[in-house]
Amino acid sequence: MSTQGGFARAYVPASHAIHAYRAEVQLRAKAAGVVPGTDPLSVEIVATFARPMSHLNKKGVRATAPALPRPDVDNLAKGILDALGELWGNDSCVAALSVEKCYGTEGRTSVTINAI
């Protein structure tokens, strides 16, 4: 947040990692054939995070390790929808949204888009 002329404004610094993430989402969406349209869309996001070694011991997952990864699901969705919205013109065409986060053996994000 910053203030300018007595008004607060939110911004994301140019060096923030979200910019590279959004660019990658757009690149992958274009490669998958995602095109702008006028139909309402359903978007399903599954974000799988690799569990850090600090969560593990010789017997498996430590009892004190968190059950879920740190980012909030609304922030995960925002990064992806903002990136896709730049392809679509905006993300207001999304009528249904499902977001899931979990730990897995490797980090990955899966996005499924369907016309309603």
Residue 63 DSSP label? T
Q: Which fold has domain 16-115?
A: 60s Ribosomal Protein L30; Chain: A; (3.30.1330)
The pLDDT assigned to 36 comes to: 79
Q: Are 111 and 30 in contact (CB under 8 A)?
A: no
| 0.85 surpassed by pTM | no
CB 85 within 8 A of CB 91: yes
Q: Which helix (H) or strand (E) holds 74?
A: helix 73-88
| Average pLDDT estimate for 33-53 | 90
The answer to whether 18 touches 79, Cβ cutoff 8 Å, is yes
Q: Model confidence at 14, in pLDDT bands (50, 70, 90)?
A: confident
Let me know the angle formed at the C-alpha of 93 by 43 and 69, rounded to the nearest 5 degrees.
35
**Hunting for tokens 């660019």 — which residue is that?**
23
**Interior CA angle at 20 toward 22 and 15, to 5°?**
120
Q: What is the pLDDT of residues 69-115, one digit of tens each?
A: 988 999 999 999 999 988 888 888 899 999 999 999 999 999 999 98
**Residue 45 banded pLDDT, cuts 50, 70, 90:** very high
